[in-house]
């Protein structure tokens, strides 16, 4: 059989449950406060931006490594058979841009 509780035990249980309820309501109030909601949203956005920036950095780093591997030997020496044609094309493009801008100024 179950033991009968005394009025003091019942009162103590009521006090304990009131305190628990008060703590729960305080926690809900803090979570629902506009500053808390805004702070959580800012943290989420910052986290997303950090993740996106990290992915972008990894992608750029991979592309740079691939390009470097195409234009250098394993020992780090440049591959002239690939560097020279790219340099010639770059100089030609710069020359065309310069001559085009001079024509437009005249």
Extract the tokens encoding 71: 């234009």
Each of the 106 residues of the chain gets a pLDDT tens digit; together they read 468 899 999 999 999 999 999 999 999 999 999 999 999 999 999 999 999 999 999 999 999 999 999 999 989 899 999 999 999 999 999 999 999 888 877 6
Query: Distance of CA 5 to CAs 9, 11, 103, Å?
Result: 6, 10, 102
The helix/strand/coil state of 80 is helix
**Sign of the dihedral defined by the CA atoms of residues 39, 44, 45, 49, in that order:** positive
Whole-model pTM: value is 0.49
């Amino acid at each position: 059989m179950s033991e009968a509780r005394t009025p003091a035990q019942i009162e103590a249980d009521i006090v304990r449950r009131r305190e628990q309820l008060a703590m729960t309501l305080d926690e809900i109030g803090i979570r629902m406060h506009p500053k808390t909601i805004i702070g959580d949203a800012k943290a989420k956005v910052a986290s997303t931006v950090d993740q996106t920036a990290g992915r972008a950095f990894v992608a750029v780093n991979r592309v740079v490594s691939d390009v470097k591997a195409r234009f250098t030997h394993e020992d780090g020496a440049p591959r002239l058979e690939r560097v020279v044609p790219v340099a010639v094309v770059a100089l030609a493009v710069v020359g065309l841009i310069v001559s085009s801008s001079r024509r437009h100024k005249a």
